[in-house]
């Protein structure tokens, strides 16, 4: 049976420290904490439950400091889609600021939908990643716009090698660990092991040529426009 937390999330985030959040909301007396029901719910950073816990912590901390702050709570299905963000406008009430516990995309989409309202980030958005085990998430994709996973045994060297090397491993790979830390796996050792297992080490003999980074952020902010879908709406 699936619980609400099950499923493969994409964007992994973590909450900013409470003191930082308190500084962000310090100018306001009435704040709406806005959760998001998708990625950040799955990674326990900004779902309905985290909104409740943070709201309680803020109310208590502000009360101890003698400040009377109204903290209201709302969690919507997805902050990154206009279809769901409309609900915030309806339920905003007299809040002067929204503290979004969505990812960076959510914060921006909510801000765009609420002209004249301060929308503040309550999370630090970390990466696109996978759940390795409960409580352990790992970066897996940098969104470079030109996938090479076919060449690297399904392990991404751009996201998982500290130097994004395409012809690794470098000379700092030791015992399967990266030179930057014994806590970091060497992506190219993983690629080597995987291709070895698949009998495809020949792929590692080929030079992967200079990468075209224009499909990544280096080419400027990216967008995808699908006229075929636009017509449907």
Partner 1 sequence: MLAGSNLERLLESGQFVVTAELGPPKGTNQKVVARKAEQLRSCCDAVNVTDNQTAIVRMSSLSVCILLKQIGLEPVMQITCRDRNRLAIQADVLGAVGFGIHNFLCLSGDHQKFGNHPTAKNVFDLDSIQLVQTLVGMRDKKKFASGDDFNGEAPVYVGAAANPFADPFEFRVIRLSKKVKAGASFIQTQPVFDVERFARWMEMVRQRGLDQQTHILAGITPIKSAGMARYMRDNVAGVGIPDSVVARIEQAADVKEEGVKIALEAIEEVRKMPGVHGIHIMAVGWEDIVPVIVEKAGLMPRPAVSAKQ
Q: Which parts of this chain interact with partner 1 (CB under 8 A)?
A: 162-181, 186, 189, 192-193, 201, 204-205, 207-211, 213
Nearer to partner 1, 90 or 205 (CB): 205
Alpha-helix residue ranges (DSSP H) falling in the chain: 18-25, 39-42, 48-64, 82-91, 104-113, 157-160, 187-197, 227-232
Nearer to partner 1, 109 or 195 (CB): 195
Minimum distance, C-beta of residue 144 to partner 1, in the bound complex (Å)? 12
Taking the CB of residue 8, how many other CB atoms lie within 10 A of it? 9
Minimum distance, C-beta of residue 181 to partner 1, in the bound complex (Å)? 8
**Three-state SS annotation for 120-177:** EECEEEEEEEEEEECCEEEEEECCCCCCCCCCCCCCCHHHHCCCCCCCCCCCCCECCE
In angstroms, rounded to a whole number, what is the distance separating the alpha carbons of residues 150 and 17? 40
Nearer to partner 1, 24 or 165 (CB): 165
Taking the CB of residue 29, how many other CB atoms lie within 10 A of it? 15
Minimum distance, C-beta of residue 217 to partner 1, in the bound complex (Å)? 12
Nearer to partner 1, 92 or 208 (CB): 208
104-113 and 82-91 are packed helices; what angle lies between their axes, rounded to 10 degrees?
60
In angstroms, rounded to a whole number, what is the distance separating the alpha carbons of residues 122 and 82? 20
Minimum distance, C-beta of residue 225 to partner 1, in the bound complex (Å)? 27
Minimum distance, C-beta of residue 151 to partner 1, in the bound complex (Å)? 13
Nearer to partner 1, 22 or 211 (CB): 211
Q: Encoding tokens for residue 124?
A: 């630090």
Minimum distance, C-beta of residue 219 to partner 1, in the bound complex (Å)? 13
Nearer to partner 1, 110 or 158 (CB): 158
């Amino acid at each position: 049976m699936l619980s609400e937390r099950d499923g493969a999330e994409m964007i992994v985030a973590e909450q900013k420290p409470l003191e930082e959040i308190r500084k962000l909301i310090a100018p306001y007396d009435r704040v709406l904490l806005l959760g998001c029901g998708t990625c950040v719910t799955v990674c326990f950073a900004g779902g309905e439950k985290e909104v409740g816990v943070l709201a309680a912590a803020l109310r208590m901390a502000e009360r101890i400091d003698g400040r009377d702050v109204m903290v209201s709570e709302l969690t919507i299905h997805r902050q990154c889609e206009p279809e769901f963000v409309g609900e915030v406008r309806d339920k905003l009430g007299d809040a002067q600021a929204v503290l979004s516990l969505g990812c960076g995309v959510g914060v921006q989409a909510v801000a765009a939908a609420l002209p004249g309202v301060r929308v503040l980030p309550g999370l630090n958005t970390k990466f696109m990643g996978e759940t390795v085990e409960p409580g352990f998430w790992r970066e897996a994709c940098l969104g470079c716009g030109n996938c090479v996973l076919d060449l690297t045994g399904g392990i991404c060297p751009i996201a998982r090698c500290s130097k994004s090397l395409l012809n690794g491993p470098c000379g700092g790979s030791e015992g399967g660990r990266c030179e930057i830390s014994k806590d970091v796996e060497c992506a190219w050792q993983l690629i080597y092991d995987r291709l070895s297992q698949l009998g495809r080490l020949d792929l590692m003999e080929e030079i992967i040529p200079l990468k075209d980074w224009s499909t990544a952020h280096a080419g400027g902010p990216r967008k995808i426009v699908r006229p075929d879908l636009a017509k449907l709406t």
